[in-house]
A = this chain, B = another copy of it.
Amino acid sequence: MKNCLSYGIIGAGNGGLAMAGYLAKKGFVVNLYNRTLQKILPLMEKPTITLTGEKEGTGKLNIVSDNIKEVIENVDIIMVTIPAIGHYNLGKLMAPYLKDGQIIILNPGRTGGALEIYTTLKKNGCDKNIVVGEAQTFIYACRKTSARSAHIYREKNEVSLACIPSTKTDEVIHMLSSAYPQFVPARDVMETSLNNYGAIFHPAPTLLNSGHIERGAPFDYYTEGITPSISKFLEKMDNERMRIAQALNIETCSAKDWLYESYGAVGTNLYEAIQNNPGYKGLLAPKGLNIRYIYEDVPYSLVPMSSLGKQLNIDTPAIDSVIRLAELMTGKDFWNSGRTVEHLGLNGLDLDEIHNFAQTGIVTKEKGVVA
């Protein structure tokens, strides 16, 4: 099967370009979709992507298009690299063209991405056997350097991944391993969704440094922006996240321990671990507040956590205060546009039913079975 696999990459941003370039260079058949034609015109003229950094070389793409059907209809695996804000519309867009056996992987899903795509496909009349998986984080730290090139700063050592249905997770990880041996199985998509550390590290430090971020004053986002008081606040958010995960019997660790596992950064508390993380040194804060740290991580990471918490009777005051503040600062209704349990199809389900839905994609209620 190796290298006979074909991939459809969704999104020609930082991640999509790096992933498409790498997979093409490895010899896979790679199609690339982007919603905005303008952005991929240079690639349509000359369909090669050149990589620099940890991965080097040039890969040649098969199809580059803003037509979703053309890109996905004949591929084995669809790698979604667009922001979570686009997942719902992407689900609707793909629904008519998917075929039995195709695999969709969200890189990453944030919180509830695979559930959202899965539910959206069903609601939009897709009755094919589709596997929808999500990675816990993006596999690279990378940046697009031009319309046809990307720089890969660092490839992660290990990224967990789960599928709906979860019985397919091992098979999918095996298929992906010829390209990405770093994927390891999670129990189900609730685990990948709750172990979303961007939810902790992105919105709150951004809001609590919003003066300097909006003015574009340069500072190190993590090591300067996350002070002892902010760090204590993040620990409160992280404890709420962990309580939800624990209620769902999900294997999780604190953000502090995750910094140790991911970067080898040690500390007696989160503040020290952040300060001691060489991977964070020199990472400048974003300039301006119109950024994914707010517009993606609030509705697609914090809202589903809070909404799940409410359903499980777990208070999330710190997470809620960040959602509320983000709404008031931006004037956006992140709660109603975000991934609530209603939106994800988890409304009213108990613990077993949630895992069952996450693992099978089937809602089992006393009344009967509703697909």
Instruction: Point out residues on A near B: beta carbons under 8 Å.
Output: 205, 207-212, 214-215, 217, 219, 224-230, 232-233, 236, 289, 317-318, 320-321, 324-325, 328-331
Contacts and interface: CB of A to CB of B under 8 A. Distances in A.
Contacts of A227: 210-211, 214-215
Contacts of A207: 208
Q: Which of A208, A230, A330, A331 has the most CB of B within 10 A?
A: A208
15 contacts: A205-B211, A207-B208, A208-B208, A208-B210, A209-B209, A209-B211, A209-B212, A210-B230, A211-B224, A211-B225, A212-B212, A217-B224, A233-B328, A317-B328, A325-B325
Contacts of A328: 233, 236, 317-318, 321
A128 B224 CA distance: 56
Contact of A233 (B217, B228, B329): B329
Contacts of A232: 329, 331
A331 B232 CA distance: 9
Nearest to A285: B211
Given A236-B328, A324-B317, A224 B230 contact: no
Contacts of A205: 211
A224 B229 contact: no
Nearest to A228: B214
A289 B211 contact: no
Nearest to A226: B211
A229 B329 contact: yes
Nearest to A207: B208
Contacts of A331: 232
Contacts of A212: 209, 211-212, 219
Contacts of A320: 324
Contacts of A211: 205, 208-209, 212, 219, 224-227, 230
Contacts of A208: 207-211
Contacts of A215: 224, 227
Contacts of A226: 211
A210 B207 CA distance: 9
A41 B214 CA distance: 47
Contacts of A321: 321, 324-325, 328
A207 B317 CA distance: 17
A310 B263 CA distance: 47
Q: Which of A214, A229, A236 has the most CB of B within 10 A?
A: A229
Nearest to A322: B325
Nearest to A323: B321
Contacts of A228: 214
B236 A214 contact: no
B289 A229 contact: yes
Given A208-B208, A211-B212, A214-B228, 8 more contacts: A205-B211, A208-B211, A209-B210, A210-B229, A211-B226, A211-B230, A321-B328, A325-B325
Contacts of A217: 219, 224
Contacts of A224: 211, 215, 217
* List of 3 A-B pairs having minimum Cβ-Cβ separation, nearest first: A214-B227, A209-B211, A321-B324
Nearest to A289: B229
A233 B214 CA distance: 13
